[in-house]
């Protein structure tokens, strides 16, 4: 049977990375889509060709590294260009995830962490999804403190994401990380549930 795949996401300041680390402490492998999106831009030849075709050969430096400043200058104020770039990157991340799952086939289940799990449609490739949530004011305070920005700047970043209530309708499970409820017991309960699901699927 195919392996159990769990997606995990959350809006900025929710603590999704912290929750992912808790699963890693339980010896569960976590695929970080945001890190992989950066990596595939210099390793996936199909993607490299696509970026050069869309943005020019100068998108890459002579040594093969992506010229991030050049790309950022193009997509920062051009939504169509950003959409085009995402349309190239997302399939490459999907390919990397499929290859990664194959290399972790012995694990009872694996996790895919992605900031835009629902927006990119990659949640459809997962058996279940976890949404890490916290009240908006709590999340904005965390982001402002973490990144050294104002609450207004944090709010502007948050406004560019799919609203939490919409993600909640799509998610299978929810971890509440609101500074009042303990997170570890929630993670342990889900871990046990996923092990049981994986055993039933095997």
- Identify whether 81 is part of a domain: no
Burial of 18 (0-12, 13-18, 19+ CB in 10 A): middle
- Identify whether 165 is part of a domain: yes
What pLDDT score does 105 carry? Answer: 83
CATH of the domain at 161: 3.40.50.300
Contact present, 66 and 60 (Cβ < 8 Å): yes
- Identify whether 152 is part of a domain: yes
- Identify whether 77 is part of a domain: no
Model confidence at 59, in pLDDT bands (50, 70, 90)?
A: very high
> What would the pLDDT profile of 118-165 be if each residue is shown by its tens digit?
988 889 989 999 999 999 999 999 999 999 999 999 999 899 899 999
The percent of residues above 70 in pLDDT, for the chain, comes to: 99
**Structural domains of the chain, count:** 1
- Identify whether 60 is part of a domain: no
> What would the pLDDT profile of 175-202 be if each residue is shown by its tens digit?
999 999 999 999 999 999 999 999 988 7
> What would the pLDDT profile of 80-120 be if each residue is shown by its tens digit?
998 899 899 989 999 999 999 988 888 899 999 999 999 88
- Identify whether 61 is part of a domain: no
What pLDDT score does 58 carry? Answer: 94
What is the three-state SS of the chain? CCCEEEEEECCCCCCHHHHHHHHHHCCCCEEEHHHHHHHHHHHCHHHHHHHHHHHCHHHECCCCCECHHHHHHHHCCCHHHHHHHHHHHHHHHHHHHHHHHHHCCCCCEEEEECCCCCCCCHHHHCCEEEEEECCHHHHHHHHHHHHCCCHHHHHHHHHCCCCHHHHHHHCCEEEECCCCCCHHHHHHHHHHHHHHHHHHHC
- Identify whether 175 is part of a domain: yes
- Identify whether 75 is part of a domain: no
Tell me the two tokens of residue 196.
């049981």
Q: Please give the mean pLDDT across all residues of the chain.
A: 93
List the domain range (segments joined by +) for residue 196: 4-29+104-201
What pLDDT score does 1 carry? Answer: 46
């Amino acid at each position: 049977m195919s392996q159990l795949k769990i997606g995990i996401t959350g809006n900025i300041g929710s603590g999704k990375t912290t929750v992912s680390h808790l699963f890693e402490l339980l010896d569960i492998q976590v695929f970080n889509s945001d890190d992989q999106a950066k990596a595939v831009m210099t390793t996936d030849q199909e993607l490299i060709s696509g970026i050069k075709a869309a943005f020019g050969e100068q998108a890459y430096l002579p040594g093969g590294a992506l010229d991030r400043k050049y790309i950022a200058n193009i997509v920062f104020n051009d939504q169509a260009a950003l959409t085009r770039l995402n349309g190239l990157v997302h399939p490459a991340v999907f390919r990397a995830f499929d290859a990664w799952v194959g290399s972790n086939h012995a694990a009872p289940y694996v996790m895919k962490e992605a900031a835009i799990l629902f927006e990119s449609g990659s949640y459809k490739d997962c058996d279940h999804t976890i949404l890490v949530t916290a009240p908006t004011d709590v999340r904005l305070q965390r982001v402002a403190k973490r990144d050294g920005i104002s609450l207004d700047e944090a709010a502007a970043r948050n406004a560019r994401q799919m609203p939490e209530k919409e993600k909640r309708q799509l998610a299978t499970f929810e971890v509440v990380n609101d500074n009042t409820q303990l997170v570890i017991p929630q993670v342990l309960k889900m871990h046990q549930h996923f092990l049981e699901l994986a055993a039933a699927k095997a």
